[in-house]
């Protein structure tokens, strides 16, 4: 991609942050929703904080990185601002990258909340660099997934949210967030391998040395491949959907 | 393509399913012109402007914007054009100033240059005092002026406007038209679509009339008006039935038709015909129930133009 398109993607990212991510309800929802969901499953299950934290961070990052990006194009289709973007000298991939970038930054920042809580709660992160890199690549991967989910050529955000929920919740349930991978039956392990969240949670568990399953390199490779597939599909589907949006 | 031609559409066609929204149209716009694309709703104006600006891909045909092929060099072509879409679409949760700065970033303008031009444009369009206000609090006319400012920020050589005064109050529409004349004087070529014949007449150097995806005529407003003059009608209804042929003696009447209880007189001089009808009614001691002048619609012009074309085609 040309440098001038990268600068334009950054402009779109800043616009997304100002309009869509800075709203207080979005921030509060982004932080609180994963907490509520997580504790709904873990309460009275007598699990260690070391086991809980990676799942909590994983779900927070997963929800925050995918939620808003998936509905921005439908919002902008409805408000006719998408036509403004498409009529300017930017590629469709530039618009997609701008949206991904905003979701990535939002996800990374919000994921610091549960991590800080964990650290304040006395959890030691033995491999902070691995954890940090894991958060970065996972935020990118989940943002690309959000961009892919947003490619439906509709101007009704609720339609996209319904499709997103149908895809995202199964990805959480099969991911090993709630049960350690090593304790899953073979079919469970196979199912878990289809969720990118599996590899992020596994990386975090490695970082705090509890119940990790795959090697670090494999987790990174899987997340990278997922990100690449999601990005390529997202751009292709957005290019195909654009004539129906405007 | 000659240097004087800045927009060239050749055999431009767009199908939606089996329906041709734009059907093999061909025209050229010269440098420095205000070129109007005139047609009723659903005629294919927006589809055409979207193909010209690279937003929609044509099914067939080709568009050149100056030296650029819109399909192969889309970004380069977009860089030299400004676009005002049919629906006002600034970001309503941003201020007017932020919208301008965002537009500058999308066109790759340096920040300082963006600020300088934005201030000048907002001042010129009487929006500078409101630059920090969120656009959601702007009236429709203000939004439209902002959109025009945004389209001009990159100092385009060609400005495309899709129904720029549609739905605006008279004052806002007049301001927009004045500004367009001023922009054109500064050397910007303007392509605008409208369904308002008077607007096209007031603004444009040349007009293309489009209906049902086909161009019926491309000419200057005055020459097109000559065609429409023949389509004017006076419709009169009397309290008592009369024989329409008794009106044959009236001068300036080309054709008389009976429409129910009304009589329709085709004329190029409706003002004179009205006086003659009033005199006729006095002479015959008739009361008039109604007397109207029917101004030709674009549909009439189009039908007339296409009829003429067909006739000349058969004659050939």
Q: What is the pLDDT of residues B77-91, one digit of tens each?
A: 999 999 998 876 899
Is residue A118 classed exposed, middle or buried when 0-12, 13-18 and 19+ CB atoms within 10 A define those classes? buried
Q: Do B153 and B107 contact (CB within 8 A), yes or no?
A: yes
Percent of chain A topping pLDDT 70: 97
According to DSSP, residue B316 is labeled: -
The CATH code of the domain that includes B250 is 3.30.70
Residues B86 and B162 in one domain: yes
Q: Is residue B289 part of a domain?
A: yes
> Shortest Cα distance from B65 to chain A (angstroms)?
14
Instruction: Give me the sheet containing B68-69, strands edge to edge.
Output: B19-30, B5-16, B60-65, B68-69
Residues B96 and B181 in one domain: yes
Picking from A228, A229, A239, the residue whose alpha carbon sits closest to that of residue A95 is: A239
CA A221 to CA A227: how far, in whole Å?
A: 10
CA B161 to CA B23: how far, in whole Å?
A: 21
Q: Mean pLDDT in chain A? A: 89
Q: Is residue B311 part of a domain?
A: no
Asked if residue B148 has pLDDT above 70, the reply is: yes
**Structure tokens that stand for B252 in this block:** 């300036």
Q: Is residue B316 part of a domain?
A: no
Element (H, E) at A237: helix A216-245
> Shortest Cα distance from A148 to chain B (angstroms)?
22
Residues B170 and B267 in one domain: no
- Taking any CB pair shorter than 8 Å as contact, residues of chain A touching chain B are 4, 7-8, 10-12, 14-15, 18-19, 79-81, 83-91, 243, 246
Residues B237 and B194 in one domain: no
Residues B245 and B261 in one domain: yes
Whether residue A18 and residue B90 make contact (CB cut-off 8 A), yes or no, is: no
Q: Do the strands B158-162 and B81-84 form a parallel or antiparallel pair, or are they unpaired?
A: parallel
Residues B247 and B219 in one domain: no
pLDDT tier for residue A183 given thresholds of 50, 70 and 90: confident
Per the structure, the count of domains in chain B is: 2
Q: Which domain does B275 fall in, by range?
A: 232-295
Whether residue B83 and residue A91 make contact (CB cut-off 8 A), yes or no, is: no
Chain A residues close to B57, C-beta within 8 Å = 243
CA B234 to CA B211: how far, in whole Å?
A: 25
> Shortest Cα distance from A113 to chain B (angstroms)?
27
Q: How many helices (H) and strands (E) does chain B have?
A: 10, 14
Residues B213 and B247 in one domain: no
Q: Is residue B68 part of a domain?
A: yes
Residues B190 and B109 in one domain: yes
Whether residue A85 and residue B106 make contact (CB cut-off 8 A), yes or no, is: yes
The predicted structure's pLDDT at residue B306: 64
Q: Is residue B304 part of a domain?
A: no
> Shortest Cα distance from A68 to chain B (angstroms)?
16
Asked if residue B300 has pLDDT above 90, the reply is: no
Q: Which of A8, A11, A18 sits opposite B94 (nearest CB)?
A: A18
Q: Phi/psi of residue B190, each to 5°?
A: -120, 130
Interval A187-196: pLDDT, tens: 999 999 999 9
Interval B89-129: pLDDT, tens: 899 999 999 999 999 999 999 999 999 999 999 999 999 99
Lowest mean per-residue pLDDT among A157-161, B122-126, B180-184: A157-161
The predicted structure's pLDDT at residue B316: 38
Q: Is residue B11 part of a domain?
A: yes
CB-based contacts of A135: which residues, under 8 Å, 6+ apart? A57, A61, A108, A111, A115, A200
Picking from B234, B241, B237, the residue whose alpha carbon sits closest to that of residue B275 is: B234
Residues B197 and B243 in one domain: no
Quick count: other Cβ atoms within 10 Å of Cβ B238? Answer: 19
Lowest mean per-residue pLDDT among A16-25, B184-193, B301-310: B301-310
Residues B128 and B249 in one domain: no
Chain B residues close to A10, C-beta within 8 Å = 105
Chain A residues close to B54, C-beta within 8 Å = 87
Size of interface A-B (CB pairs under 8 A): 66
Chain B residues close to A85, C-beta within 8 Å = 106
Chain A residues close to B98, C-beta within 8 Å = 18
> Shortest Cα distance from B75 to chain A (angstroms)?
5
Whether residue A81 and residue B90 make contact (CB cut-off 8 A), yes or no, is: yes
Interval A87-117: pLDDT, tens: 999 999 999 999 999 999 999 998 998 888 8
Q: What is the DSSP string of B254-278?
A: EEEEEETTEEEEEES-HHHHHHHHH
The predicted structure's pLDDT at residue B299: 64
CA B184 to CA B170: how far, in whole Å?
A: 21
Residues B209 and B242 in one domain: no
Chain B residues close to A72, C-beta within 8 Å = none
Q: Is residue B302 part of a domain?
A: no
The predicted structure's pLDDT at residue A44: 66
Q: Which of B204, B227, B250 corresponds to the end of one domain?
A: B227
Return the residue of B nearest to A81 by Cα: B89
CA A158 to CA A175: how far, in whole Å?
A: 25
Lowest mean per-residue pLDDT among B31-45, B77-91, B198-212, B225-239: B225-239
**For chain B, how big is the Rg over CA atoms in Å?**
24
Helices (H), chain B: 45-52, 74-79, 96-106, 111-124, 140-152, 170-185, 197-203, 221-229, 270-283, 298-315
Q: Which of A11, A18, A19 sits opposite B106 (nearest CB)?
A: A11
Return the residue of B nearest to A23 by Cα: B93
Q: Which of B227, B247, B268 corresponds to the end of one domain?
A: B227
Chain A residues close to B88, C-beta within 8 Å = 80
CB-based contacts of A203: which residues, under 8 Å, 6+ apart? A130, A131, A134, A138, A212, A216, A219, A220, A223
Q: Do A144 and A70 contact (CB within 8 A), yes or no?
A: no
Q: Is residue B52 part of a domain?
A: yes
Return the residue of B nearest to A98 by Cα: B106
Whether residue A87 and residue B79 make contact (CB cut-off 8 A), yes or no, is: no
Asked if residue B315 has pLDDT above 50, the reply is: no
3-class SS of residue B144:
helix
**Ranges A154-158, B178-182, B224-228, most confident:** B178-182
Percent of chain B topping pLDDT 70: 92
Chain B residues close to A4, C-beta within 8 Å = 108
Residues B236 and B143 in one domain: no
């Amino acid at each position: 991609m040309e440098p001038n398109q990268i600068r334009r993607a950054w402009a779109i990212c800043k616009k997304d942050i100002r309009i869509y991510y800075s709203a207080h309800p979005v921030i509060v929802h982004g932080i609180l929703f994963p907490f509520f969901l997580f504790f709904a499953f873990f309460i009275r299950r007598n699990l260690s904080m070391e086991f809980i934290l990676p799942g909590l961070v994983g779900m927070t990052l997963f929800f925050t990185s995918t939620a808003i990006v998936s509905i921005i194009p439908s919002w902008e289709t409805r408000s006719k601002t998408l036509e403004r973007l498409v009529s300017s000298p930017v590629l469709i991939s530039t618009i997609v990258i701008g949206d991904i970038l905003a979701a990535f930054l939002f996800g990374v920042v919000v994921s610091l909340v549960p991590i800080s809580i964990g650290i304040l709660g006395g959890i030691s992160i033995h491999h902070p660099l691995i954890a940090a890199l894991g958060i970065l690549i996972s935020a990118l991967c989940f943002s690309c997934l959000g961009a892919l989910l947003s490619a439906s050529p509709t101007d009704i955000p609720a339609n996209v949210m319904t499709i997103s929920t149908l895809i995202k919740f199964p990805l959480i349930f099969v991911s090993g967030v709630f049960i350690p991978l090593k304790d899953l039956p073979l079919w469970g392990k196979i199912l878990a391998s289809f969720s990118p969240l599996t590899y992020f949670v596994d990386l975090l568990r490695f970082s705090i040395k509890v119940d990790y399953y795959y090697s670090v390199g494999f987790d990174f490779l899987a997340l990278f491949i997922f990100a690449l597939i999601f990005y390529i599909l997202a751009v292709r589907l957005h290019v195909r959907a654009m004539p129906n949006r405007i | 393509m000659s240097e004087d031609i800045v927009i060239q559409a050749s055999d431009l066609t767009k199908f939606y399913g089996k329906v041709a929204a734009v059907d093999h149209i061909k025209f050229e716009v010269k440098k420095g012109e205000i070129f109007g694309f005139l047609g009723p709703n659903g005629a294919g104006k927006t589809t055409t402007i979207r193909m010209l600006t690279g937003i929609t891909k044509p099914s067939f045909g080709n568009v050149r914007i100056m030296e650029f092929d819109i399909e192969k060099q889309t970004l380069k072509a977009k860089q030299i054009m400004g676009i005002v879409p049919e629906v006002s679409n600034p970001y309503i949760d941003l201020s007017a100033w932020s919208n301008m700065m965002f537009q500058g970033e999308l066109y790759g303008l340096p920040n300082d240059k963006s600020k300088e031009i934005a201030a000048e444009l907002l001042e010129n369009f009487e929006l500078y005092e409101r630059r920090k206000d969120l656009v959601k609090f702007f009236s429709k006319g203000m939004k439209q002026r902002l959109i025009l400012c945004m389209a001009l920020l990159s100092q385009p050589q060609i400005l495309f406007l899709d129904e720029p005064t549609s739905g605006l109050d008279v004052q806002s529409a007049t301001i927009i038209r004045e500004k367009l004349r001023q922009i054109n004087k500064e050397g910007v070529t303007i392509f605008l679509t409208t369904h308002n014949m008077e607007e096209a007449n007031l603004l444009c150097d040349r007009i293309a009339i489009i209906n049902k995806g086909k161009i019926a005529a491309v000419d200057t407003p005055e020459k097109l008006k000559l065609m429409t003059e023949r389509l004017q009608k006076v419709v009169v209804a009397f309290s008592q039935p009369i024989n329409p042929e008794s009106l044959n003696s009236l001068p300036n009447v080309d054709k008389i038709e009976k429409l129910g209880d009304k009589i329709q007189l085709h004329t190029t001089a409706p003002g004179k015909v009205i006086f003659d009808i009033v005199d006729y009614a006095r002479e015959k001691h008739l009361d008039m129930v109604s007397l109207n002048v029917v101004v030709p619609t674009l549909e009439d012009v189009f039908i007339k133009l296409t009829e003429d074309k067909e006739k000349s085609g058969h004659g050939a």
